[in-house]
């Protein structure tokens, strides 16, 4: 049985109108969309079937015996249902496009952030710097000695350096945890397990306190 004959048989079986995609599904994988369209055009040209256009949607059906000049009153076609189906498809497509746009923005946002490896290294450097400065401040303030004299300017510089490093440390830590939170959206295990697998050492693990 040729493709055109197969299509005609499908339409005659139910005498119901079908869109191209509906007919394609009923034909199965043996008939490609291009071949199907060629068969439909041939059947329309021969007058064996008729076609109606609803926006971008073409609907094919068997002509009725009493049909004259494509009189729609004699066509077994639920126009309202077809139009709703078409609008639903358009709305679904619009939603999918919006989802893709949102995901692309999120990907660009994450791509602009430092890598996890860089953040871990920088966090460790800042940890060491903060610990070193904290120890130095403690030595100069908590245990003053007559042998150690520190000028007001030097003390001020130490305080500024300490605050600068502490601020940088907190910023990098926040960025690092933001990345972890983003990964958690699609991670099946706990946050603690994720941190262990990535290899991040938390402040509690290393005993670091500000």
Distance CA 62, CA 127 (A): 78
Domain count, the chain: 3
Give the pLDDT score at 24.
84
Distance CA 3, CA 32 (A): 10
Last residue of a domain, one of 64, 87, 112: 112
Do 199 and 126 belong to one domain?
yes
Q: What is the mean pLDDT of residues 141-167?
A: 71
Distance CA 178, CA 172 (A): 10
Give the pLDDT score at 69.
46
Do 69 and 89 belong to one domain?
no
Backbone Cα Rg of the chain: 36
Distance CA 130, CA 180 (A): 23
Distance CA 119, CA 32 (A): 52
Q: What angle separates helix 152-184 from helix 116-141, to the nearest 10 degrees?
A: 150
Residue 180 — pLDDT band, cuts 50, 70, 90?
confident
3-class DSSP assignment, residue 18: strand
Distance CA 198, CA 201 (A): 9
Do 68 and 87 belong to one domain?
no
Q: Which two tokens stand for residue 79?
A: 């126009």
Do 38 and 100 belong to one domain?
no
Do 12 and 65 belong to one domain?
yes
Do 164 and 185 belong to one domain?
yes
Of 18-32, 48-62, 77-91, which range is least confident? Answer: 77-91
Residue 74 — pLDDT band, cuts 50, 70, 90?
very low
Do 123 and 154 belong to one domain?
yes
Do 61 and 108 belong to one domain?
no
Last residue of a domain, one of 112, 138, 161: 112
What lies within 8 Å, CB to CB, of 183 at 6+ separation is 194
Residue bearing tokens 């602009």: 112
CATH of the domain at 59: 1.10.10.10
Residue bearing tokens 């940890």: 127
Last residue of a domain, one of 112, 127, 161: 112
Do 44 and 100 belong to one domain?
no
**What residue numbers bound the domain in which 108 lies?**
78-112
Do 47 and 108 belong to one domain?
no
Do 89 and 40 belong to one domain?
no
Strand 49-54's sheet: what is its strand order? Answer: 18-19, 57-62, 49-54
Do 69 and 101 belong to one domain?
no
Alpha helical stretches, state H, 47-111: 79-111
**What global pTM score does this model have?**
0.35
Give the pLDDT score at 168.
83
């Amino acid at each position: 049985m040729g493709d055109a004959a197969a299509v005609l048989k499908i339409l005659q079986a139910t005498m119901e109108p079908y869109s191209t995609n509906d007919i394609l599904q009923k034909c199965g994988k043996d008939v490609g969309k291009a071949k199907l369209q060629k068969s439909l055009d041939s059947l329309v040209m021969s007058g064996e079937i008729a076609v109606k256009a609803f926006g971008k949607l073409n609907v094919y059906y068997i002509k009725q015996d009493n049909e004259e000049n494509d009189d729609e009153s004699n066509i077994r076609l639920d126009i309202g249902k077809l139009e709703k189906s078409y609008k639903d498809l358009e709305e679904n497509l619009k939603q999918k496009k919006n989802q893709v746009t949102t995901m692309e923005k999120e990907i660009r946002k994450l791509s602009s952030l430092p890598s996890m490896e860089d953040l871990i290294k920088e966090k460790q450097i800042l940890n060491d710097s903060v610990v070193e400065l904290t120890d130095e401040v403690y030595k100069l303030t908590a245990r003053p000695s007559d042998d150690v004299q520190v000028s007001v300017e030097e003390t001020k510089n130490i305080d500024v350096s300490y605050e600068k490093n502490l601020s940088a440390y907190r910023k990098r830590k926040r960025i690092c945890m933001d990345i972890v939170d983003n990964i958690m959206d699609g991670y099946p295990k706990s946050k603690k397990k994720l941190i262990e697998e990535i290899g991040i050492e938390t402040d509690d693990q290393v005993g670091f306190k500000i």
